[in-house]
Amino acid sequence: MSQKSLRAAIVQQPCTDDRSTNLKMSEEGIRAAAAGGAKLVLLQELHTSLYFCQHESTDLFDLAEAIPGPSTEWLGALARELRLVIVGSLFERRAPGLYHNTAVVLESDGTLAGIYRKMHIPDDPGYYEKFYFTPGDLGFTPIQTSVGKLGVLVCWDQWYPEAARLMALAGADLLLYPTAIGWNPDDPADEQARQRDAWVTIQRSHAVANGLPVLVANRIGFEPDPRGQLAGARFWGHSFAVGPQGEFLAEAGEKPDVLVVDLDLTRSENVRRWWPFLRDRRIDAYGDITRRFRD
């Protein structure tokens, strides 16, 4: 089997309350990725702003924008200039009172190849996303691009094996997770370590279970709770790429970084021949998976 390789990049950055500053950092990362030969660039979740979901405020809906809109035009221009595919993450204003957490994919000619609306929406202290985001209604459908079929999922989606599996069953060539996850600074060090290890492990497991490469982009830096009710969030970074057996290909720390990695997409075919999980699935016995719980 001839090798089909893809050079991909992950941009890890902090964010501020100034949109232009955030876009500048993203652009620097994208250009660095292009200089390194990348043909696909993944940005982190909600990279144009602070992670505003630490509290609930109707004023923050003003951060949302239309798709297509200013950010897709800006990303599209970069994609066209640099001849690469860019996956971004935006706060979408779909209609008055209707908003989504939406990933966008810009093709290398600058056109909008497709979008994915985050399906699983958390609601926890410091992560009040249900106040802002309507759950996605586009299902788990990969987006066709010049570099392959991209199974794009967003942050909280990363904990659900069903989401990764459905993307794989729809023919995704790789899975991508733009993310914003961090620690409560008040948690002890051992608890923080368990949380990050769990986060890495679950996403590596999606690679193993589906025989696909996985790219994860997470933000970094401390962002205070604007209302001072909680300790804020310290986003832990550690963006990474793994191959179809969960093997690490690249991993960042907790500083700004651009990871450039070569993906051998033919390994998915070989790994699935060795470990034919899709062949051996008992689809005749999985009916109860659609139930909330088996009482």
Domains recognised in the chain with CATH numbers: 5-290 (3.60.110.10)
Measured between alpha carbons, how far is 94 from 97 in angstroms, rounded to an integer?
A: 8
15 is catalytic: no
What is the average per-residue pLDDT within 123-145? 97
Q: What is the per-residue pLDDT for 3?
A: 64
pLDDT at 31 over 60: yes
Q: What is the pLDDT of residues 201-216, one digit of tens each?
A: 999 999 999 999 999 9
Q: Point out the catalytic residue in the list 45, 92, 107, 129.
A: 45
The mean predicted confidence, pLDDT, of the chain is: 97
Q: What is the pLDDT of residues 108-132, one digit of tens each?
A: 999 999 999 999 999 999 999 999 9
56 is catalytic: no
53 is catalytic: no
Exposure letters 20-45 (e unless 16+ CB within 10 A, then b): eebbebbeebbebbbeeebbbbbbbb
CA neighbor of 19 nearest in space, from 71, 54, 59, 55: 71
Q: What is the per-residue pLDDT for 2?
A: 54
Q: Point out the catalytic residue in the list 15, 53, 107, 118.
A: 118
Collapse the DSSP code of 235 into the 3-class scheme (helix H, G, I; strand E, B; otherwise coil) and give the result. strand
pLDDT classification of 28: cutoffs 50, 70, 90: very high
Q: Point out the catalytic residue in the list 39, 92, 107, 155.
A: 155
Say what percent of the chain tops pLDDT 90: 98
